[in-house]
Amino acid sequence: MAKQTIADIDVNGKKVLMRVDFNVPLDENLNITDDRRIEMALPSIKSVVDRGGQLILVSHLGRPKGKADPKLSLAPTAKRLGELLSTEIAFAADTVGELAQAMVSGLTDGDVVILENLRFNEGEKSGDQEFSKALAAMADIYCNNAFGTCHRTDASMVGVPMAMDGKPRVVGSLVEKEIKYLSDVISNPERPFVAILGGAKVSDKINVIDNLLAICDQILIGGAMAYTFALATGGRVGGSLVERDKVDLAKSLLEKGGDKLVLPVDSHCGDAFSADCNKQVFAAGEIPDDFQGLDIGPETAKKFGEIIRAAKTVVWNGPMGVFEMPPFDEGTKEVAQAIADGDSISIIGGGDSAAAIAQLGFENDVTHVSTGGGASLAMLEGKSFAAVDILDDATVTS
């Protein structure tokens, strides 16, 4: 899947349209509360600016459904990017209109402009050809640096690079890194290769489990979906969150996976969904009716930790319990600590797992934290992305 990168291309004096993921959280005063997505895009942004390129940044923010919404304007991201780069960043209050066209035309080498929220235009989500062509006409080079939306077929992800056929179409450093770890490393892993899957629903992870069973040595199952597997083995789960309509599916996955699928041996439970509930640890499949499982138990955490520390490649997607609510964050903490302690190539698959790693302070102790929850799941399922496939392949040197 190796693709040509922005670093491979001469950008001097050329207009570069870079799709970034500036879908950042804003408070009621439109202040950015977490700027990590902007910071993570900086290497590719600086690469273009420092080499004399004229940079046009495009992104979505929220779900405005094709209509302008002042609360979802990208203006705060232009301000924050300017602070990070110690320079003023131009902002166009439209996307393909006269103002945007004029500001793009007026760019000089090293300049940056951010265009208004792509999703203020209905053509973005629908992949409209005319909208795609209007964006494509602005630039000499297209760069996809937005992994979090790589699994989508929005205009800026697929339509624009299609319309720029014949011009360079490359990846930024973020997408390059995601491909390296979520595709290349997993396709040829150092062994033992262990996957850790948590979260609420088996249905969310069916295709991931199915795909990873073919390539992993072991898959550790935690989170609420473990209780659906417990039902499939004839266990009692009390009031735990389960998908009763997925029990037969869980049975088939257990039959297919055999010893590769490792289920919890105990569960940390409460008699209510509350931090101050009555708490007790029960053996797996033996949860009474007036309790619900809210985390893996201490014996499971110990067992999972031993397996993780012995691994050479680890992929983690989904918390082990209700990690936002102590003390039911202990299982997730133990898994994160084991990953940090080990010497494996460790890949954290975005979403809640990435949030947990950041919350626990282990970001610098793992190999890679994915920037896209949905996109990382899709890649772990083995899906191909039109938004990536259409980009220029890297030149193979002998």
Query: What length does the chain have?
Result: 398
368: helix, coil or strand?
strand
The percent helix, strand, coil of the chain (3-state, each to 5) is: 40, 20, 40
User: How is residue 390 written in tokens?
Assistant: 């259409």
| Other beta carbons within 10 Å of 27 | 8
> What does each C-alpha distance from 390 to 91, 127, 139, 161 come to in angstroms?
29, 15, 17, 7
104: helix, coil or strand?
helix
374 is catalytic: yes
Upstream peptide bond of 298 is cis (omega within 30 degrees of 0): no
CA distance 64 to 66: 6
Upstream peptide bond of 327 is cis (omega within 30 degrees of 0): yes
148 is catalytic: no
37 is catalytic: yes
Residues with Cβ < 8 Å from 276, sequence gap 6 or more? none
Q: Which of 148, 331, 351, 373 is catalytic?
A: 351
In the sheet with 368-369, reading across from the earlier edge strand, the strands are 261-262, 218-221, 193-197, 313-317, 345-348, 368-369
First to last CA, the chain: 17
CA distance 3 to 390: 10
Q: Which of 201, 236, 303, 312 is catalytic?
A: 201
198 is catalytic: no
331: helix, coil or strand?
helix
CA distance 294 to 273: 8
Q: Which of 37, 119, 152, 333 is catalytic?
A: 37
User: How is residue 17 written in tokens?
Assistant: 């349209």
Q: Which of 62, 235, 374, 382 is catalytic?
A: 374
Q: What residues are annotated to the active site?
A: 37, 201, 351, 374
